[in-house]
Amino acid sequence: MPIQSGGMPHHSHPFYMPVKISSLTSLSHYATDNIPATNSCIMFVWEGKGQLEIDGELHSLESGIIMTFAATSKLKLKTEQQLQGMWIEYTSMPNHRQEQNFLNGSPALHHASAQLIALSGELYSAWIEPDDRKPFKVQQLFTQFIVDLHHELAAKKETSGSWIENVFEYIEAHYNEDITREQMATLAGVSPEHFSRTFRKIMGQTFSAYITLLRIRRAQQRILTSSPNLTTLAHEVGYEEGTYLSRKFKQLVGLSPTAYQNKNKKIVALNYNHTAILRVLEIMPQLGVYSDWHRSLEQVPASKQLTMNEGNSSLLFDSIALAEPDIIISYNIPENKILTPVAPVIELPFMQMSWREQFGLIADVVNRRQRAEEWLGHYDGLCHAANKKLNHSIGSERGTAIVWELSSRAAYCFSSSYGRGCQILYGDLGFKPPSIIMENGIMDSGYLVSSIEEIGTYPADYIIITSIPSSSEGRKRLSRLLRSRDWKQLDAVRNNRVYILNQGDMFYGFDPLSSQAQLKELLRVMTS
């Protein structure tokens, strides 16, 4: 090691030290502007699914992914399936400026090795249950974690074709313009010949064929979600004439745009909510994702059920391609791009559309608007009857209500944009969310996270618990809550207005089928 004058060692690299390690479920409690600017952060997802927005850029979260970023980054988390994992804040010694941290700005590691996953579990356990006999264990594990993460990120960088990623981003933004192979090769910094070989190896088709495919897919999406004039549509996707678009459309799809719009289509739905919408519209998807609760309502052939294989996009692609769908319905997630060669993907924005709006849009796509309106009329009738019954039972002044979903490690409450029965309580039945969760920003994130023991600090006139922990550890924490002073002093507890339903799978859905069941269950317990 080099020695400076005065005999002190010179550190060519900083020494990294963990400041805080916690469960990923606590992320919503961390405002990045409250984290010291000298710190950096690591997010490691063990289970679940969601999206993380970092400084305006959206990243998909799934099992095995690791994200690294500076504390000065602006974060926004959206959870689709409950996230489990590890959230780390760390600093460097000596106190280097955080932008010099070699991890900041690194690309996401999408498939952490089994060794790194096991090491992360040891690190988390050592942090939350320190061993006084091994005071340096956390630091040793963290140092090894950083070293292994660095090695895996370096290996990824060596094997990734970063210029290809840049090219695809450009194509997505400019597919309707006159872009050429030579322009893309210049953008990539490679020869046109090398560009063509690499592109065809990755995509299985030429650059020009892919541009045509992308334009026709965009045309299909527009045809399915509106009724554009053919000439206008041609201009939108990059062609000068409607007749030329029609010819290209028929070559690729096998039908004219009009015939495609009118045909009965084979559909693949990539999540529970959209599968349920299709079933309410009396359509059996070619493949759909079904919840356990949905499967308890009807027998679904195994051949019609789609398993979302975490971290295995090629297997998912093969399953969907074999179904030969005419339409794929999904939320707007980055993984949808790999499905472009298979069929047009109708993307619905996550947490930005109510279940009624999603229902209506999908009904239009599959030409079942009348069926949707009939069903909504029936549902509104149920809501009217429910409100009359509540008026008789508890009065017209509803008061506040809060919904909790308990896992083994944390408790979650929600806004109406996230569902979980809140779309009914706050939207259909006239209850209000407690001011404390409004002040904590639930309308921005869609949900808040608390420890189970802290639920007693969130007062509401009515408390609904839709699921309780399945583990012995979680049950013990729930038991401590129910014995706590804060809990016993809540008005809802003293007035016998706490409803423990433990039907998390039913309340997870944000669709017509689940909402109707949730309405009936909420009415049953609140008027019994």
pLDDT-derived band at 99 (thresholds 50, 70, 90) equals very low
- From 262, 289, 321, give the residue that closes a domain: 262
Taking CA 523 as the corner, what is the angle to CA 514 and CA 384, rounded to the nearest 5 degrees? 85
Mean pLDDT of 368-396: 96
For residue 489, pLDDT over 70 is answered with yes
Instruction: Say yes or no: 271 and 256 in one domain.
Output: no
Instruction: Say yes or no: 427 and 303 in one domain.
Output: no
Instruction: Say yes or no: 310 and 439 in one domain.
Output: no
| pLDDT score recorded for residue 98 | 42
Beta bridge partners of 3: 9
Tell me how far CA of residue 129 lies from CA of 21, 132, 138, 388, in angstroms: 11, 10, 10, 52
Which is nearest to 270 in space by CA: 174, 175, 342?
Answer: 342
Beta bridge partners of 463: 402, 498
CA contacts within 13 A on the Cβ side of 161? 13
CATH of the domain at 109: 2.60.120.10
DSSP annotation string for 319-338? HHHHH--SEEEEES-GGGGG
CATH of the domain at 258: 1.10.10.60
Instruction: Say yes or no: 153 and 248 in one domain.
Output: no
pLDDT tens profile 160-187:
456 777 888 889 889 999 999 999 988 8
| pLDDT score recorded for residue 119 | 86
Mean pLDDT of 76-96: 74
Tell me how far CA of residue 364 lies from CA of 213, 357, 360, 369, in angstroms: 24, 11, 6, 5
Instruction: Say yes or no: 294 and 399 in one domain.
Output: no
Q: Which residue has the higher pLDDT, 146 or 515?
A: 515
Which is nearest to 403 in space by CA: 499, 494, 481, 471?
Answer: 499
Instruction: Say yes or no: 224 and 275 in one domain.
Output: no
For residue 229, pLDDT over 80 is answered with yes
- From 367, 394, 419, give the residue that closes a domain: 367
- From 159, 193, 220, give the residue that closes a domain: 159
Distance from C-alpha of 361 to C-alpha of 347, rounded to nearest angstrom:
11
Contact 447, 418 (CB under 8 A): yes
Structural domains counted in the chain: 4
Instruction: Say yes or no: 515 and 411 in one domain.
Output: yes
pLDDT tens profile 436-456:
999 888 888 788 888 898 999
Instruction: Say yes or no: 290 and 395 in one domain.
Output: no
**Most confident of the ranges 139-143, 260-264, 469-473, 522-526:** 522-526
Q: Is residue 190 part of a domain?
A: yes
Q: Is residue 38 part of a domain?
A: yes
Mean pLDDT of 250-263: 91
Q: Is residue 373 part of a domain?
A: no
DSSP state of 100: G
pLDDT-derived band at 15 (thresholds 50, 70, 90) equals confident
pLDDT-derived band at 422 (thresholds 50, 70, 90) equals very high
Distance from C-alpha of 16 to C-alpha of 234, rounded to nearest angstrom:
55
Cα torsion 265, 271, 275, 277: sign: negative
pLDDT-derived band at 191 (thresholds 50, 70, 90) equals confident
| pLDDT score recorded for residue 96 | 46
The residue length of the chain stands at 528
Percent of the chain with pLDDT over 70: 88
Give all strands of the β-sheet with 462-467 in edge-to-edge order: 447-450, 411-414, 401-406, 462-467, 498-500
When computed from its CA atoms, the radius of gyration of the chain, rounded to whole angstroms, is: 26
Instruction: Say yes or no: 409 and 486 in one domain.
Output: yes
Distance from C-alpha of 317 to C-alpha of 308, rounded to nearest angstrom:
10
Mean pLDDT of 136-152: 88
Tell me how far CA of residue 300 lies from CA of 259, 283, 506, in angstroms: 30, 13, 17
pLDDT-derived band at 38 (thresholds 50, 70, 90) equals low
| pLDDT score recorded for residue 37 | 65
For the ranges 80-84, 347-351, 360-364, the lowest mean pLDDT is seen at 80-84
Mean pLDDT of 356-369: 95
pLDDT tens profile 111-125:
777 778 888 888 988
CATH of the domain at 388: 3.40.50.1980
Contact 206, 213 (CB under 8 A): no
Contact 202, 188 (CB under 8 A): no
| pLDDT score recorded for residue 130 | 84
Instruction: Say yes or no: 445 and 512 in one domain.
Output: yes
Mean pLDDT of the chain: 85
Q: Which residue has the higher pLDDT, 28 or 305?
A: 305
Q: Which residue has the higher pLDDT, 17 or 54?
A: 17
Tell me how far CA of residue 315 lies from CA of 81, 309, 320, in angstroms: 20, 7, 9
Q: Is residue 376 part of a domain?
A: no
Tell me how far CA of residue 218 lies from CA of 24, 222, 274, 483, in angstroms: 37, 6, 21, 57
pLDDT-derived band at 80 (thresholds 50, 70, 90) equals low
| pLDDT score recorded for residue 522 | 97
Q: Is residue 461 part of a domain?
A: yes
Range of the domain at 425: 381-527
3: number of Cβ within 10 Å:
9
pLDDT-derived band at 92 (thresholds 50, 70, 90) equals confident
For residue 492, pLDDT over 50 is answered with yes
Distance from C-alpha of 135 to C-alpha of 132, rounded to nearest angstrom:
6
Which is nearest to 339 in space by CA: 234, 246, 252, 213?
Answer: 213
Beta bridge partners of 287: 268
Q: How far is CA 482 from the centre of its chain?
A: 32
| pLDDT score recorded for residue 352 | 84
Instruction: Say yes or no: 330 and 408 in one domain.
Output: no
| pLDDT score recorded for residue 153 | 79
Which is nearest to 442 in space by CA: 487, 412, 401?
Answer: 412
pLDDT tens profile 294-337:
999 999 999 999 987 544 566 778 889 999 999 999 998 877 88
Q: Which residue has the higher pLDDT, 387 or 199?
A: 387
| pLDDT score recorded for residue 3 | 33
Instruction: Say yes or no: 191 and 275 in one domain.
Output: no
Q: Is residue 8 part of a domain?
A: no
Q: Which residue has the higher pLDDT, 3 or 239?
A: 239
Region label for 147, one of left (φ > 0), alpha (ψ between -120 and 50) or beta (otherwise) = alpha
| pLDDT score recorded for residue 125 | 84
Q: Is residue 338 part of a domain?
A: yes
Which is nearest to 207 in space by CA: 166, 168, 177?
Answer: 168
Q: Is residue 1 part of a domain?
A: no
